[in-house]
């Protein structure tokens, strides 16, 4: 009955979910630590458990179907052995054998903030917590009401890590998120990311109009950001809209189903409302 009366659509949503680090925190200033966490987190397990497979792993700040996405960037596999090697190299070692790594007498423990009311993100945080425990990192989860999270913690930089997402515009310009000039209160580079090469490329991408040239610019931005790991890039969920089958001319495309909304119609024989 459902299939008779409704049409289901599936396409990639224009956004991604990530865990962002406060890069002014000494623990996260070492890129080896950020890369180690990337190896420690099994994204496939998260996608299967939280989305029943209806999402895709992402390696950068663009959605995988975008022309700006660099498909040559190699996804770091789930590899706890490589995680431990990088952590040990960075000085984090389980010296007393209690299961938790430490450095200078302090165990590696941090808190990630998650916004209240988002079950997918909360479940994702719980899985990351479980996976990091296996490599000796204790991650605590704190769920906070959205406005408080933004106004009291994100904007004031009072966080260690945060699990959030970006809903992206169709154009790949991400200057406001990644440029080092955008770290003031109320701006979007709240993790404090700074890479001079990325800054120059972001500026160049804004004044370049040839799409093939812009693609090369954003591919390089993608590569550099994934190397730096200011975010733990997680997934892009699928969009799964459902429309009553009375509506005709509804078509799925890389930009969704609403692009031709003006052409949707219901045949007179199926119209119910006057």
pLDDT at 46: 98
More confident residue, 5 or 206: 206
- Mark 112-136 as b/e (b = at least 16 C-beta within 10 Å): bbbbeebebbbebbbbbeebbeebb
| pLDDT range class, residue 1, cuts 50, 70, 90 | low
Check whether 273 has a pLDDT greater than 80.
Answer: no
pLDDT at 149: 97
Q: What is the mean pLDDT of residues 22-38?
A: 98
Check whether 255 has a pLDDT greater than 80.
Answer: no
Q: What is the mean pLDDT of the chain?
A: 94
What is the residue-wise DSSP string for 91-115? Answer: T-B-SSSSS--EETTEE-EEEEEEE
pLDDT at 240: 83
State whether residue 30 is helix, strand or coil.
coil
H runs (alpha helix) in the chain: 2-5, 31-40, 43-51, 80-89, 119-133, 146-148, 175-178, 196-206, 211-228
What is the C-alpha to C-alpha distance for residues 25 and 28, in angstroms, rounded to an integer? 6
> Angle at the Cα of 43 (from 172 to 89), degrees rounded to 5?
95
More confident residue, 256 or 136: 136
pLDDT at 92: 98
What would the pLDDT profile of 161-201 be if each residue is shown by its tens digit?
999 999 988 899 999 999 999 999 999 999 999 999 999 99
The length of the chain in residues reads 274
- Axis crossing angle, helix 31-40 with helix 211-228, rounded to the nearest 10: 90
pLDDT at 192: 98
More confident residue, 56 or 255: 56
Percent of the chain with pLDDT over 90: 80
Structure tokens at 72: 């040559």
| pLDDT range class, residue 274, cuts 50, 70, 90 | low
pTM for this model (two decimals): 0.90
What is the C-alpha to C-alpha distance for residues 233 and 82, in angstroms, rounded to an integer? 18
Q: Which of 116, 125, 126, 132 is nearest to 34 (CA)?
A: 132
Q: Which of 157, 222, 200, 217 is nearest to 20 (CA)?
A: 157
What is the C-alpha to C-alpha distance for residues 216 and 69, in angstroms, rounded to an integer? 10
């Amino acid at each position: 009955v459902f299939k008779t009366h409704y049409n289901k659509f599936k396409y990639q949503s224009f956004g991604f979910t990530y865990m962002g680090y406060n890069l002014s925190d000494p623990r996260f200033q070492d890129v080896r630590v950020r890369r180690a966490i990337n190896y420690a987190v099994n994204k496939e397990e998260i996608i299967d458990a939280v989305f029943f497979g209806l999402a895709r792993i992402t390696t950068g700040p663009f959605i995988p179907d975008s022309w700006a996405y660099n498909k040559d960037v190699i996804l770091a596999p789930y590899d706890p052995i490589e995680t431990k090697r990088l952590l040990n190299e960075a000085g984090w070692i389980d010296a007393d054998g209690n299961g938790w790594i430490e450095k200078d007498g302090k165990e590696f423990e941090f808190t990630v903030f998650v916004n209240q009311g988002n079950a997918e993100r909360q479940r994702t945080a719980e899985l990351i917590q479980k996976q990091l425990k296996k490599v000796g990192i204790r991650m605590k989860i704190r769920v906070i009401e959205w406005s408080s999270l933004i106004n009291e913690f994100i904007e004031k930089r009072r966080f260690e890590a945060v699990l959030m997402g970006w809903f992206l515009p169709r154009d790949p310009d991400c200057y406001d998120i990644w440029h080092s000039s955008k770290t003031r209160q109320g701006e979007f580079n709240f993790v404090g990311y700074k890479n001079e090469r990325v800054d120059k490329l972001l500026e160049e991408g804004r004044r370049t109009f040839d799409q093939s040239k812009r693609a090369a610019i954003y591919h390089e931005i993608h590569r550099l950001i994934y190397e730096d790991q200011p975010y733990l890039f997680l997934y892009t969920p699928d969009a799964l809209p459902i429309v009553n089958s009375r509506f005709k001319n509804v078509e799925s495309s890389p930009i969704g189903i609403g692009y031709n909304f003006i052409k949707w119609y219901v045949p007179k024989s199926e119209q119910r409302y006057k």
